Amino acid sequence: MNNTVRVRFAPSPTGYVHIGSLRTALYNYLFARKNNGVNILRIEDTDQNRLVEGAEENLLRTMSWAGIDFDESVNREGDYGPYRQSERLKIYKHHIDLLIEKGHAYYCFATAEELEQMRREQEARGEAPKYDGRYRDYPREQARKRIEQGESYVVRMKVPADGETRFPDSVRGEVVFQNELLDDQVLLKGDGFPTYHLANVVDDHLMGVTHVIRGEEWLPSTPKHVLLYNFFGWEVPQFAHLPLLLNADRSKLSKRQGDVAVEDYIKKGYLPQALVNFVALLGWNPGEDREIFSMDELIEAFSLEKVNKSGAVFDVDKLNWMNGQYLREMETGEQVAFLRPFLEKAGIDVSDPLRTEKMVRAVAPRINKGEDVAGFKDLLGGHLPDIRDAEALEILRMPDASRVLEHFVKKAAALGELTPESFKQIMKEIQKEQGIKGPALWKPVRVAITSGPSGPDLPLVIDILGRDKVIAMVEHVLKNYCNE
């Protein structure tokens, strides 16, 4: 086997990138970089019926967004191309012919109707549906005559009827399958395209792949792949099957219970470094308590031996927390650049760069992802308060609430402008003159301006809104929410 570690991420361009695919791509990337190896991107587009226009471009864009790069790909040809399977059909046909000549594969003429009847009869007998091998021993020359006459066919692999197929797995240890339970898998379809199983094995061998790191859903197919390696007389790569991603109720992660496409998380305002950090910890334990890792730190710490067997729960709350950590670590300029599109989408005016920066400084400590800024639309727009929070309403009914707000309006109106500094001065004067301090002083003003008992830093909010809007908001609250 090649001494240089070579891994591949081999997606099908059938839609947006699944969060599980991002993890597979990430683990391959981390393993390659940790071992000074080669990371390959191969596009597996042999299932022509499922191809989605634009999916390949989206895939490449998503990988770039996540910071995952490839040494060989459709955009960076190496010595083992083409890297798009639909451009390798002659290679697969040659290897199909080799298998047939060696007696490890055969032509099958069973129609869709025959296969359906076969399935129904097996289910009626309580058997697991499986191809019954009716063409396993069909004379090869007779089969070729039927093909020459234009009859449609597929090619199936001839799985040994007994014995077992075993292979070591970096995550699961020794894995054993009984051959009698394996189907005679289709290798070449009626349209002349190979199935995943043949193309995958042929390409992995010809591209020098040393480690196959992929999702657990491919584990049942692996004995068929091992058999193909053996049929061709090739060395088998090291397998590592990653645990399933699970919903909170431990069912398989699915769109029915939440977002599963990376695109969804991008649109909601998650940062690439946060999503990558979070996904890295889904099924892999670095063996220490810390949870925040840069990409370089992930590369340094990663190993397949620390990947867990059991499924990993996708905890959105933890992702939100982690994204918030990354967001708050950003420089103000970076925060502005990241949050501006989300402010704009929420209908918040971002035409004034200085005001936009002030808004970002006010809301960034209070949010976990980009789309959260929409929750501050009314506040940042200076809309008159619509107070519904029970605790906020209770604060406005406190004995001194009206008095604080009335004196606040009077003092603010006497100023030419209301700045963070003059706001703090007003509050000091009210405290001194009225003998009101602590929560009784500050909470009514906060509620009157932010509509809630907590929120962004008040001096920052006042700096954004300006004197007239602040006075109008407080007067509105005095009139509509405070007891006489």
| Catalytically annotated residues | 255
Q: Cα 348 to the chain's mean position, in Å?
A: 28
Alpha-carbon distance 342 to 373, whole Å?
A: 7
Alpha-carbon distance 342 to 336, whole Å?
A: 10
| Contact indicator for 38, 6 with CB cutoff of 8 Å | yes
- For every residue of 383-420, DSSP letters joined together read PPP----HHHHHHHTSTTHHHHHHHHHHHHHTSS---H
* Close Cβ partners of 355 (under 8 Å, ≥ 6 residues apart): 349, 464
State the Cα angle at 333 between 322 and 57, rounded to 5°. Answer: 65
Place of tokens 């420089």: 331
Alpha-carbon distance 281 to 328, whole Å?
A: 21
Q: Computed over its alpha carbons, how large is the radius of gyration of the chain? A: 32
Alpha-carbon distance 369 to 367, whole Å?
A: 6
The H or E element spanning position 467 is helix 467-480
Ramachandran class of 154: left when φ > 0, alpha when ψ lies in -120 to 50, beta otherwise: beta
Ranges assigned E (strand) in 98-252: 105-108, 154-157, 164-169, 173-178, 186-188, 211-215, 238-242, 245-246
